[in-house]
Amino acid sequence: MVIQKMIRSKLAENGWFRLALCASIVAVVWLIVLPRLSSIDIVAKHIEHLEEREVHAGAMYYTDLEKLPTRPSWIEDEIVLW
Partner 1 sequence: MSSTPSSSSESKTESAPTEAVAKRGWHEDYAAILIGAMLVILSLIVTWTGRPSEEPGNRKMHSKGWPNALSKTIDKPQAWNSNPIEGLTNAKSKKNVGVPIVLGMVWIVAIGALGSLLMGREPLHFLVGGVFLVCLTCIAYFLAAQKFVESYNLEYPLWALMVGLIIGNTVGEMKWLKPALIGEFFIKTGLVIFGAEVLFSRLLELGLPGLLTAWVVTPIVLIATYLFGVYVLRIPSRSLCMTISADMSVCGVSAAIATAGACKAKKEELSLAIGLSLFFTVIMMVVMPPFIEWIQLDQVVGGAWIGGTIDATGAVVAAGESLGKEAGEVAATVKMIQNSMIGLIAFGVAVYWAGWVEKSDKKAEVSLGYEVWRRFPKFIIGFFCASVLCSFIFTMGGEESLLVDGSNKGFIGPLRGWLFCIGFICMGIQTNFRQLAPMLVSGRPVVMYVLGQALNLILTLTVASLTFGWLFKK
Alpha helix ranges (H) inside the chain:
2-13, 15-28, 34-38, 41-52, 75-78
In whole angstroms, the minimum distance from the beta carbon of 7 to partner 1 comes to 14
Amino acid at 28: V
Interface residues with partner 1 (CB under 8 A) are: 15-16, 18-19, 22-23, 26, 30-31, 34-35, 37-38, 43, 46-47, 49-50, 53-65, 67-72, 74-75, 78-82
Backbone angles phi, psi at 64, to 5 degrees: -85, -10
Closest to partner 1 by CB, 1 vs 55, is 55
Going by C-beta distance under 8 Å and a sequence separation of 6 or more, which residues neighbour residue 50? 57
In whole angstroms, the minimum distance from the beta carbon of 10 to partner 1 comes to 12
Closest to partner 1 by CB, 1 vs 77, is 77
Closest to partner 1 by CB, 5 vs 67, is 67
